[in-house]
Structure 1
Amino acid sequence: MMLQKTARASAHQRDSDHVPSHSVFGFWLYLMTDCIVFASLFAVFAVMSHQFAGGPSGKELFDIPGVAMETAVLLLSSITYGFAMIGANRRKKGVLIGWLAVTFVLGAAFLMMEMQEFSHLIAAGAGPNRSAFLSSFFTLVGTHGLHVTLGLVWMAVLVVQAIRAPELGERELRRLTCLSLFWHFLDIVWIGVFTFVYLASVI
């Protein structure tokens, strides 16, 4: 009797793993709404980018080499996440967890550099309340940083789930795929921030 129940449970699990899921499609819809949010923030920055209120401009404030280092770290994290997905698709749990750990460290390093930049600007009297330009800057870049923070929390949860799972099934792969879409999306947004906010402000 117990063996029959176990067999039925295993069969049910296999069937549920192969049931078509709408979670990835639904996550694409979520990313569309996030695109609208960031597009709105970019539009606000475009309008406010020359409203300095007698304060410093981006050319005076931004450290382009430092921001370039932030950009390189975040883009590298996207590559390491790709390696993690290769391991996941090959059902190699150790490879997946290892590359996710590297990605997490890179994402955390990006956030630390961003927080140092914010701290430096505020200490120099260039906080978000100094001008409309700085308000829009902090809002846009801070929103991206918040998304990276949420992505790191999500990544940590998936690592714990992967460790506890007896094997990597379709459900785990779907969750990893959704985070992959989110993480690469944040890279694309940051490229826009680096180009449109930082580089355009110092030219």
Structure 2
Amino acid sequence: MEATVVKTGTEGKTWGGGTDPLKASYGKMMMWFFIVSDSLTFAGFLAAYGFSRFKFIDAWPIADEVFTHFPFLHGVEAPMYYVAFMTFILIFSSVTMVLAVDAGHKMQQKKVIFYLFLTIIGGLIFVSSQAWEWKTFIKGEYGAVETHGGQIIQFLNKEGERVAIGDFAAASTGERTLQTKENGIWYKKDTEYQPSVSFEQVKAGFLANDNLLVRLPNKDENGHHIVLSREESIAKVVNDGNMIVEGANLRHNEYGHPLFADFFFFITGFHGFHVSIGILLNCIIFFNVIIGTYERRGHYEMVEKVGLYWHFVDLVWVFVFTFFYLV
């Protein structure tokens, strides 16, 4: 019995089977599928960030006041300068990747090697800069007091300048004991975070210095931080003060609401992971170009596939830079 062959009338057409859709190879199509699906993940992160920010808008940190550091320029206020530098480096590496892909189309091996090398260097600079930014963010600069209700108290002098808690904290009157099982205080782990100064030292130093005021992360109708009077500041520290916070982690954040730090770590960390994977892929392709793998194949399609991925992480950072840092 012979099999019946049914014709659909689409044979030989783009979606008729047996052809490459949109003249894209299987590898390119799969890369596009990955990019689209991963875009939804980043979109979810940014959407959640937006909802959380507007829910806690009064206590949300201002990026210009948080990311003010620049390597080797200690004490210099440079709001967003280094983040802008990182963005420029990543965009520049995207340009060099375009040039590498174009050189691959023209079968120019030496140019592909040169531009891929520049792309890898740009990626390494970006990831290293991101690691430095994480370190600075985690370490903090001024420190703050967290109240029993989880609100952050920051300190200013009467000229309106931020003051680090270590600059006015009273000297310790005794040796600070780390809480361990051995000394009978067993309910906290040995690795429990211990700040450089205690709350009692900060409170004593604050009460002894009439030039200090308290600034709240909450903002007034003009968008400025609320600064309490000296009497209100004393009452706030004495009655509500609970613990010292230096820097930021997933539970505490000297810059403001803890969710700001959570989203910073998750969004920039997830993106940094993607950039690191891109650097690894570029290194593999770079090595294959050097040994002539793609010359023997007669095409540089692998460079183009990795180029799609690299442009994706670059575009994602543009959105992160816009919505997390600028807006």
Q: Tell me which structure has the larger Cα radius of gyration.
A: 2
Cα distance, 1:71–1:45 mapped onto 2, change above 3 Å? same
CA apart distance, 1:163: 1.8
Per the normalisation by structure 1, the TM-score is 0.82
2: CA distance between counterparts of 1:174 and 1:129?
A: 46
1: CA distance between counterparts of 2:299 and 2:41?
A: 28
The count of residues paired between Structure 1 and Structure 2 equals: 182
Post-superposition Cα deviations, 1:108-130, rounded to whole Å, max 9, x if no partner, equal 00111111111000001123332
Asked whether 1:71 is paired with 2:87, we answer yes
Cα distance, 1:171–1:191 mapped onto 2, change above 3 Å? farther
Higher relative CO (Cα under 8 Å, sequence separation at least 6) belongs to 1
Per the normalisation by structure 2, the TM-score is 0.52
Conserved 8 A contact 1:151-1:183: yes
* Structure 2 unpaired stretches of 5+: 1-23, 69-79, 141-246, 253-257
CA apart distance, 1:168: 2.4
Cα distance, 1:61–1:175 mapped onto 2, change above 3 Å? same
Over the residues paired in the alignment, what is the CA RMSD in angstroms? Answer: 2.3
Higher strand share: 2
2: CA distance between counterparts of 1:90 and 1:184?
A: 20
Q: 2:303 matched to which residue of 1? A: 176
2: CA distance between counterparts of 1:104 and 1:93?
A: 16
2: CA distance between counterparts of 1:144 and 1:53?
A: 27
Over 6 Å off, 4+ runs? 52-55
Asked whether 1:30 is paired with 2:34, we answer yes
CA apart distance, 1:195: 0.8
Post-superposition Cα deviations, 1:133-191, rounded to whole Å, max 9, x if no partner, equal 21012101111110000000000000111122355266752211111111111111111
Q: 1:21 matched to which residue of 2? A: 25
> In structure 1, the residue corresponding to 2:122 is in which secondary structure?
helix
> Relative to structure 2, which stretch is displaced further, 156-165 or 126-135?
126-135
Asked whether 1:157 is paired with 2:162, we answer no
* Structure 1 unpaired stretches of 5+: 1-19
Q: 1:60 matched to which residue of 2? A: 65
